[in-house]
Amino acid sequence: MFDREKKGDRAVLVLPHSRGEGDTARRGAEFAELVKSAGAEVIGTIAARVEGANPRFYIGSGKADEVAEAVRALEADLVLVDHVLTPVQERNLEKHLGVRVVDRAGLILDIFALRARSHEGKLEVELAQLKHIATRLVRGWTHLDAQRGGMIGNRGPGETQLELDRRLLAERVKMLTKRLEKVQTQRGQQRRARLRNTVPRVALVGYTNAGKSTLFNALTTGDVYAADLLFATLDPTVRKLEDLSCGPAVLADTVGFIRELPHDLVAAFRATLAEARDADLLLHVSDAADEEREHLHRVVDNVLEEIDAGDVPQLHIMNKIDLAGTEPRIDRDGAGKPVRVWLSAATGVGVDLLRQALGELLGGERVQSALQLPLSAGRLHARLKAAGAITGETVDEHGWQLRIDAPRSVIAPLSGGNAAETLLLRELLAPAE
């Protein structure tokens, strides 16, 4: 769609900052990590103090000249700006610098395009990219100037390449939206099936690179890709969580959050974020060795509020204690409820404490009793078995003799059958005299 030359990946970084912005070095290091995740090579960095945005370049014209000199001296192929630019600012900078210019939102979109693996993830990232590109379809590109004639015999006034690009883009967005709605409907049906099974749902959330995927693998013996890269994983992954005192649960790994995550991306990645919104418990993973962990914690909470998951209960996970020099432990509130677990997902130290805390938070009071079911209660038997509530059973011509051991919170929702099954469960849940 665009004819800009895309040679090479030697990048000069432009880091805008204001007077009271805080740790600009940390922001610059994080942006450099984003660039690394996108596969570009950083060959130069220029800080740009911005107290009031320049409508032409965002940065001042003098600073734009300085960047242009660095581009020529270093033979850079592109300039990456750690801020969201307007389409006009991006176009003006490209003309002034003579190389590609990519802002923060465009860079994150590129990374998402590299990392998406599932069909749904690829649809979401392409849709977000097209919406981003749509705002960049402005006059000034030389290849968009030519008029095209009508479809039959070149009759009529025709349309410019710009108008054609806009129409094709709108059609593609419409088609992708329909495909995505279909995929999300299917995922929603799968999610509702898990709700019917009454298995507790747990979702991992946290700032990107906090170690969520490593912790996911440690808890589930899974095979989720984990690396020292920002946005190493994007697609939601769900596995069964075994060996908890409360019985089985479902654990979902979600996309990592980051400060100033473009709103369109938050809206686009509804699939992975829905796992957090629909969870019974969030495991909010933080890097215990990071001095800014409290600030990053607030960044994640802000995104959770944005996706309507701010009211979901959280258990804070302080990961990477091997780097922080901290011992594994469980912090509890005044009522003895676990609120924070200190562990190292990489070494496995403290993961057993997390399992203990999950059992306490998801389990509650346990029901341990014998239950006799008639053969006509086959559906209730299947529900109890699916919920992991049966620890022993025998069967004869009169029905099943079951041994039940499960949290009350797991058994109570199973009473959605007929009146006879509901009465059996009420008797099972009745407090012992």
Phi, psi of 366 (to 5 degrees): -95, 150
Tokens representing 110 are 């590129």
Amino acid 332 reads R
What is residue 65's predicted lDDT score, i.e. its pLDDT? 93
Tokens representing 121 are 């993830």
Produce one character per residue of 239-264: b if its CB has 16 or more CB atoms within 10 Å, e if not: bebeebebbbbbbbbbbbbbbebbeb
Q: Which residues of the chain have pLDDT under 50?
A: 1-5, 139-159, 196, 433
Domains and CATH numbers, the chain: 10-102 (3.40.50.11060), 200-363 (3.40.50.300), 366-429 (3.30.70)
Phi, psi of 242 (to 5 degrees): -105, 175
Extended strands (E) in 18-114: 41-49, 78-81, 100-102
What is residue 286's predicted lDDT score, i.e. its pLDDT? 94
What is residue 144's predicted lDDT score, i.e. its pLDDT? 38
Decide: residue 183, CB within 10 A, 0-12 exposed, 13-18 middle, 19+ buried: middle
What is residue 178's predicted lDDT score, i.e. its pLDDT? 81
Decide: residue 62, CB within 10 A, 0-12 exposed, 13-18 middle, 19+ buried: exposed
Three-point CA angle 40, 46, 48, nearest 5°: 125
Secondary structure of residue 166 in the 3-state scheme: helix
What is residue 244's predicted lDDT score, i.e. its pLDDT? 83
Per-residue pLDDT of 55-84, as tens digits, reads 899 998 899 999 999 999 999 999 999 988
> Which positions ≥6 away from 99 have C-beta within 8 Å?
71, 76, 77, 78, 79
Cβ–Cβ < 8 Å for 62, 83 = no
What is the reported pTM?
Answer: 0.65
Alpha-carbon gap, residue 12 to 152, rounded angstroms:
48
- At how many degrees (to 10) do helices 351-363 and 212-220 cross? 80
Secondary structure of residue 264 in the 3-state scheme: helix
Q: Please, what sign has the CA dihedral across residues 372, 376, 378, 384?
A: negative
Strands 281-287 and 201-206, bridge-based pairing: parallel
Which position has the token pair 């749902």?
201
What is residue 69's predicted lDDT score, i.e. its pLDDT? 94
Tokens representing 70 are 């660095």
Sheet of strand 281-287: strand arrangement: 237-241, 249-253, 201-206, 281-287, 314-319, 338-342, 329-332
Question: For residue 313, which of 377, 245, 360 has the smallest C-alpha distance?
Answer: 360
> Which positions ≥6 away from 225 have C-beta within 8 Å?
213, 232, 233
Secondary structure of residue 141 in the 3-state scheme: coil
Helix, strand counts (H, E) of the chain: 15, 16
Cβ–Cβ < 8 Å for 255, 216 = no
Cβ–Cβ < 8 Å for 180, 120 = yes
Amino acid 369 reads S
